Amino acid sequence: MANKMNTEVIIGKLTLKNPVMTASGTFGYGLEFEKFIELNKLGAIIVKGLSLKPQKGNKPQRIVETPAGMINAIGLQNIGVDAFIKEKMPKLKKYKTPVIANIYGTCSEEYVKVAEKLEDSDVAGIEVNISCPNVKKGGMQFAADKEMIKTIINGIKKVYSKEIIIKLSPNTGNIEEIAGICEGEGVDAVSLINTLVGMAIDIETRKPVLANTYGGLSGPAIKPVALAMVHKTAKSVKIPVIGIGGIMDYKDALEFLIAGAKAVQIGTANFVDPQTTVKIVDGIYKYMKDKQINNINDIIGSINIG
């Protein structure tokens, strides 16, 4: 009897054909990958973080490889939300895969303005990056400021009616608490983890390798940290948790699903093999077929403890 494998996952207001998404910042505006993969095969595409005005980004050197990973300080360079809606969205519209816009601001008002502009666009939802500095509060991370997070979420909810995902930082020491706050303010889902703070030093010049000194560590090296945080957070909130961090193949993706993630994002792996995302979709499907698991929800959160 041939039962069709059901890989659909429901994340808040969205139903995705499978749990595989792309991580913001690693997939451009999606179009750069058109010649490598069939974009329609993905669960969702999350594009580069958008700000109210175009952002120049940081001086080079912007990245450095580290053992089983890399540190990046790109500096959130993007064409701005208006240009994205006008120039990129029309090209992305032809795909069935939902597009989620990652957004950020330098102050809470900017977050709200960007969300407001996206309300009338064709994006299926927004992912809110709170791992950036609040310029009005001396550069303090939004992610570390509980009251500011509530302000941002409530401001966004007044102007944006579709899917709202908050992307959490692993650097605040209280990711579960922040997830709980987001849940309390009524968002659809949380995604974690964003990158870990890291640095590298050139011993000849004695200067930091990155022009920005610090950057975000990503790649296989962070997977165990990400997985633990996803597991803890999935236990502490009822809203969907999207897992991110060092996923290189379908086995890594399955670990996150088993830990409780309803979906996963693939980031750094796209640089190593631009076809990673669809290979993971196929790999999950094959795993389900081999084990005769008909519904992906039977895998999600199925970790055996105790």
Partner 1 sequence: MIYDAKVIENKKIAEEIYWMKLDAGKKFKAEPGQFINIRVADSFQPLLRRPFSIFYAEKGKVEIVYKVIGKGTAILANKKKGDKVNFIGPLGKSYLEFGILNLESGKKIQSKIQNPKPRIILVGGGTGIASLHFLARELKKRNIKFELIQGAKNKQCVIMPNELKQIGCIFATDDGSFGKKGFVSDALKGMLEGNIIIYTCGPKQMFKAIKKVTEHKKNVKVLASFEEYMGCGIGACLSCVVEIDGEYIRVCKEGPVFDMDNIKL
Q: 132 an active-site residue?
A: yes
Residue from 68, 135, 140, 197 touching partner 1 (CB under 8 A): that is 68
Q: Which residues pair with 101 in a beta bridge?
A: 47, 126
What type of residue is 14? L
Nearest residue to 44 via CA among 126, 116, 121, 112: 126
The answer to the question of residue 195 lying near partner 1 (CB under 8 A) is no
Choices 2-10, 55-63, 100-108, 134-142; region in contact with partner 1 by CB under 8 A: 55-63
CA distances from 19 to 13, 39, 64 (A): 14, 14, 30
DSSP-derived pairing of the beta strands 9-11 and 207-208 = unpaired
Number of residues that bind partner 1 (CB under 8 A): 38
The answer to the question of residue 215 lying near partner 1 (CB under 8 A) is no
Residue from 6, 8, 53, 77 touching partner 1 (CB under 8 A): that is 77
Q: What is the DSSP letter of 180?
A: H
The answer to the question of residue 177 lying near partner 1 (CB under 8 A) is no
Euclidean distance between CA atoms 266 and 206, whole angstroms: 34
The answer to the question of residue 240 lying near partner 1 (CB under 8 A) is no
Minimum distance, C-beta of residue 69 to partner 1, in the bound complex (Å): 6
Residue from 19, 33, 181, 243 touching partner 1 (CB under 8 A): that is 33
Helix axes 146-159, 108-119, angle to 10 degrees: 20
Alpha helices in the chain (DSSP H): 81-83, 89-92, 108-119, 146-159, 175-184, 223-236, 250-259, 269-272, 276-290
Residue from 7, 51, 72, 129 touching partner 1 (CB under 8 A): that is 72
The answer to the question of residue 250 lying near partner 1 (CB under 8 A) is no
Minimum distance, C-beta of residue 57 to partner 1, in the bound complex (Å): 5
- The strand order across the sheet containing 189-192 reads 20-22, 263-266, 241-244, 189-192, 163-167, 125-129, 99-103, 45-50
- Of 64, 81, 128, 132, which residue is the catalytic one? 132
Choices 61-69, 187-195, 232-240, 296-304; region in contact with partner 1 by CB under 8 A: 61-69
The answer to the question of residue 207 lying near partner 1 (CB under 8 A) is no
The answer to the question of residue 56 lying near partner 1 (CB under 8 A) is yes
Residue from 236, 275, 294, 297 touching partner 1 (CB under 8 A): that is 275
Find all residues with CB under 8 Å of 258, minimum gap 6, and list them: 299, 300, 301, 302, 303
Catalytic residues: 132
What residue ranges bind partner 1 (CB under 8 A)? 25-28, 32-33, 35-36, 48, 54, 56-57, 60-65, 67-70, 72, 74, 77, 79, 83, 87, 219-220, 248, 268, 270-275
